[in-house]
Amino acid sequence: MADAILVERDGPVVRITLNRPDVGNALDIPMARALMEAVIACDEDDGVRCVLLTGAGRLFCAGGDVAAFSAAGESLPAFLKEITVYVHAAVARLVRMDKPVICAINGAVAGAGIGLALLGDIVIADPRASFTLAYTAIGMSPDGGATWLLPRLVGLRRAQELCLLNRRVKGEEAVGIGLVTRISAEGAVLAEAMAVAQEMARAATSALGATRRLLLEGASAPLEAQLDAESRAISAQARTAEGKEGIAAFLEKRPPNFTGDK
């Protein structure tokens, strides 16, 4: 049986691929656990400077494995509690790690795939990609961080429409409402995402991590608290090797070397 999660290293970039294409990369418990483990490994590895998340086959992720839901029978509530432990741990770590996250959306996304697809700092989608919440259509409510993420990306009113009516969004509309960063050229989503990931991997990881935290916390912080957080963060960056290198490179009119490579 093929691994449900593929982890491939390209220098400082790790590509994590959802790999159950025969079922649209639908998440079952072993796959969710493997995803969590892969994400934790990336977070703990100082050599990893950027994570790229994508899917195998025609879909990015069809959501939860509804066939596995049915097979769980009367144990479905316990099944859902277990699978969300793993998926939510992966989502939380991807959002909060210092390393930037790039998402390459290779096809349709539904259900639990929404949180994984949209949490990237940069989200690049294939022209054929589409996004559908789909939870209430099977009598379920959202998970995977969708109800936290969507209002921050598209606003509460539009999030209500997407979650309650399960309207499908694709193409330029997804860009226009803030679901994705941009649409790739046809057939080029992975190449474009990898180019961005390599660019991010050459940047100052500590500064990117601080910026990710500030943006995350700023969505709900009072102004004065956010100003204090900004002051503390930029002061802390001044103590880092990357901060010192960036200033020195600017004054010396040369490109900064944040990776330490010769």
Cβ–Cβ < 8 Å for 155, 130: no
> Quick one: the chain helix, strand, coil %, rounded to 5?
50, 15, 30
Nearest to 189 by CA among 117, 111, 133: 117
Q: What is the pTM of this model?
A: 0.94
From residue 88, alpha-carbon distances to 85, 101, 170, 230 in Å are: 5, 16, 25, 28
CB 105 within 8 A of CB 126: yes
Task: Supply the pLDDT for residue 260.
Answer: 75
pLDDT in tens, 74-121: 999 999 999 999 999 999 999 999 999 999 999 999 999 999 999 999
At 81, list the tokens: 């509690």
Three-class DSSP category at 132: strand
φ and ψ of 136, to 5 deg: -65, -20
* Predicted confidence (pLDDT) at residue 262 exceeds the cutoff of 70: no
Residue 1 pLDDT class (50, 70, 90 cuts)? low
Instruction: Name residues whose C-beta falls within 8 Å of residue 79's C-beta, 6 or more positions apart in sequence.
Output: 29, 68, 69, 72
Computed over every residue of the chain, the mean pLDDT equals: 95
DSSP secondary structure letter of residue 138: G
Q: Residue 18 in contact with residue 5, Cβ under 8 Å? A: yes
187-240 confidence digits (pLDDT tens)? 999 999 999 999 999 999 999 999 999 999 998 899 999 999 999 999 999 999
Check residue 253 and give its pLDDT: 96
Predicted local distance difference test score (pLDDT) of residue 186: 94
Axis crossing angle, helix 146-154 with helix 156-165, rounded to the nearest 10? 130
At 258, is the secondary structure helix, strand, or coil? coil
